[in-house]
Amino acid sequence: MAIIIKEFKKIKTKNGIFIEGMPGVGNVGLIAASYLVEQLKPEVFAELHTGYFGHAVLIKPNAEIQLLKGTFYYYKNRGKEIVFYIGDQQAISPEKTFDLVNKILSYLKKIGVKTVITLGGIQKGYPTKQRKVYGAVSEEKVKEKFKNLKIDFDNVSKDVGSIIGAVGMLTGYAKYYGLEGLCLLSESFSTPFVPDHKGAKALLEVLEKILEIEIDYSRINKKIKEQESIEEKLSKVPISQPKEEVEEKKLSYLG
């Protein structure tokens, strides 16, 4: 009873593309995937329930209890079929991530998905003007399909090196299910109360080309402006200076 996928409607895609978003660095993957869901308004067709998301529930404004779950959405546009997965949580323990990943992949296989695209962030210690998007793949040949899309496959090993959590495992295990895996990793910088919308937009710009859709960026651009204004304020706070002054005084006291 560890992980249950509850289907509301049977779906069978033909070479469907899978896009997932879950909490993570800067929440870039979750924001990007949720943004697409808001714009494309795909249909909910299944939910994933498990104890691996912890034992909390949320209460909605109408007093309804909202379980922490994963939601699967289906979208079809000009012959292109997309399956979205929005996960409210990552698995609470590393060893359960394996179970979650294999449960999702075997389900994707069953509903005819062909390509698995996962979204994540790479934490930077400072804000960058532009967020570079790195790519990692399930098998080298997959890179061919995603070239000329401003995805950096050349420096990902050197600059990133490893991925922690479901995103990397979903991509890596894809090949064992006969699927192609692409992991998009945006550079990310986030402050405690502001997730990284800039990083999410970088992912959206790549997804726009892959999915051959048109994205209205107005809402996320507004969020980015807010984010930049906070980052600018923070950059002016002289964090280390006062401490140095104190230390200098201490030293002069010794003299």
Kindly list the residues in this chain that would bind its own copies in the complex (CB under 8 A): 1-2, 6, 49-52, 54-67, 91-99, 102-103, 135-140, 143, 153-154, 156-158, 160-166, 168-169, 171-173, 176, 181, 183
Could you tell me the sign of the dihedral formed by the alpha carbons of 133, 86, 43, 114, in that order?
Answer: positive
Beta bridge pairs of residue 116: 18, 181
Nearer CB in complex with its own copies: 14/55: 55
Nearer CB in complex with its own copies: 82/136: 136
In this structure, the dihedral spanned by the alpha carbons of residues 116, 182, 68 and 92, taken in order and rounded to 10 degrees, is 120
Helix (H, G, I), strand (E, B) or coil at 227: helix
To the nearest whole angstrom, how small is the minimum distance from the Cβ of residue 220 to its own copies?
26
User: What's the distance, Cα to Cα, between the start and end of the chain in Å?
Assistant: 70
Nearer CB in complex with its own copies: 156/202: 156
Nearer CB in complex with its own copies: 103/201: 103
To the nearest whole angstrom, how small is the minimum distance from the Cβ of residue 90 to its own copies?
9
User: Residue 191 carries which DSSP code?
Assistant: B
To the nearest whole angstrom, how small is the minimum distance from the Cβ of residue 77 to its own copies?
29
Residues whose CB falls within 8 Å of the CB of residue 205, separated by 6 or more in sequence, listed in order: 133, 150
To the nearest whole angstrom, how small is the minimum distance from the Cβ of residue 136 to its own copies?
5
